[in-house]
Structure 1
């Protein structure tokens, strides 16, 4: 039994098509998605169409990511606070406005963590951030990660969120990140996913990196006016698609630091664009 594990698509349907085609070529019929389905990139409805097609034609499980949580929080807050043209919130607003009631219902049915048991195989836990928090980062050599692994009721955890393919081992337990389909870090511009091979009752990981048409994705960002909706955020996205060395989170952290240094406080998402410009000048 083999399972294709895909995470952090972020609206990159072109990369998703490449990963799905490769998985199908390996005769894989079971798919596990670990959250963050749309955001950052153009035409999110095309990603959703692919996901619905997969759900109809294959055996699929879907886990909720932090981006899905953002959509619910924004809706619950009366759709206030995000602005078109803002590097902080413009990309999220662009994506949110594309979502249909069907999409929101689809996301709402997803668990943030799920124990998966296949007959004859070791059980594992699937999540986005961690089994306990949807936006928690599991990082290597981190004491919090070790505590998470100890608290989780299965010896294997599949997680996403950090956009980096990695294997973490601790006291006989393993945590696997398949990387990011849509906006991977340190991948030289290639899309990433993982195949979980079931062998003799156990699981063996195979990390996959695939080339795809990044130029098309960037071209469509311009077609959809993403650089107007989220100016500096989109510049970071383009740089990650090409090289994948500096994350949105790293730049945002510096943006907020600059804002606090000058004003004494910084309240997300009300961050002036000048701090984005300065941070990008330093980091990119």
Structure 2
């Protein structure tokens, strides 16, 4: 029995379809999904329908990511503060408007982390960021990562959130990050996921990178109007899809730094678009 592990889809249903088709051809029928199902890309309803169909047909395990928290908290706060034409919140607002009550209920029912035993053979911790915090990154050569691994009550932790495939071994325990299906970093435009193989010697991991129709995903960014909803954010997304060499977080941090320098203060989500444009100009990256 092998297991497919997928994280950080971010609404890239085209990449998701390609990854799942590949896994199903390998006769894999058990899947672990590590959160951040929508966001960034067009037509999130298509991603959600794929997930619902998978859950009906196969053995699937899901946890909640930080993106799911954003939409649940936005609803709880009265749907205030997000704006069109705003690179800080426009993409979030676009996705929120395409989510249904069913989707939000699905997110609400998920845990941020869990312990899963698959057919009595594999006992693992699954989470989006870390077992302790949904937006905490488990990074290599990090004392904090080692502390979390020491505290874990399973020998394997599956996590996402960094958008980078990784294997961290410490103290007889293992952290495995499948990378990102939807908007990976440092992948040269390929979608990423992980297969856990059940072998005679025990479980082993296979990191996978898969080509798919990136240009169709980018066309849909523009035909859906996402470039109008979140101009600079959309250009960063396009760059990640093609090259994967600059993240939204990097540009966001620089935009906030520029905002603080010029205005004396800056707090999320109130970041004027001009500072996004300046940060993008410094990076000299982006799309059309």
Q: Shorter chain as normaliser: what TM range?
A: over 0.9
What are structure 1's unaligned runs of at least 5 residues? none
- Where do 4+ consecutive residues of structure 1 move more than 3 Å? none
Q: CA deviation at 1:201?
A: 7.3
2:140 pairs with 1:140: yes
Equivalent-residue separation in structure 2 for 1:156 and 1:187 (angstroms): 24
Give the superposition deviation at 1:153: 0.8
Q: Aligned ranges for residues 189-200 of structure 1 at < 5 Å?
A: 189-200=189-200
How much does 1:271 deviate? 0.5
Cα distance, 1:141–1:71 mapped onto 2, change above 3 Å: same
Instruction: Show the counterpart of 1:71.
Output: 71
* Structure 1 residue 203 displacement after superposition: 1.9
State the alpha-carbon separation in 2 of the partners of residues 172 and 264 from structure 1. 48
Q: Work out the CA distance in 2 between the residues paired with 1:139 and 1:264.
A: 32
Could you tell me which residue of structure 1 aligns to residue 162 of structure 2?
162
The offset of 1:200, in angstroms, is 4.0
Give 1:7 deviation, angstroms: 0.2
User: Secondary structure of the equivalent of 1:221?
Assistant: helix
Q: Is 1:15 the equivalent of 2:18? A: no
1:29 matches 2:29 = yes
Give the Cα separation in 1 of the matches to 2:105 and 2:184. 27
Normalised by the size of structure 2, how large is the TM-score?
0.97
Look up the SS of the partner of 2:246 in the other structure.
Answer: coil
Cα pair 1:34 1:160 within 8 Å, conserved: yes
Return 5+ residue gaps in structure 2 as ranges. none
- Cα RMSD of the aligned pairs, angstroms, is 1.0
TM-superposed deviation, 1:265: 1.3
SS in 2 for 1:183: coil
Residue 155 of structure 1: how far off its partner (Å): 1.1
CA distance in 2, matches of 1:159, 1:182: 15
* Alpha-carbon offset, residue 243 of structure 1: 0.2
- Cα 1:201–1:56 shift into 2, 3 Å: farther
**Displacement after TM superposition at 1:97 (Å):** 0.6
Number of equivalent positions: 284
CA contact (8 A) 1:121 1:201 kept: no
Matches within 5 A, 1:28-47: 28-47=28-47
* Alpha-carbon distance in structure 2 between the residues aligned to 1:55 and 1:35: 14
Distance between the aligned counterparts of 2:201 and 2:131, measured in 1?
A: 23
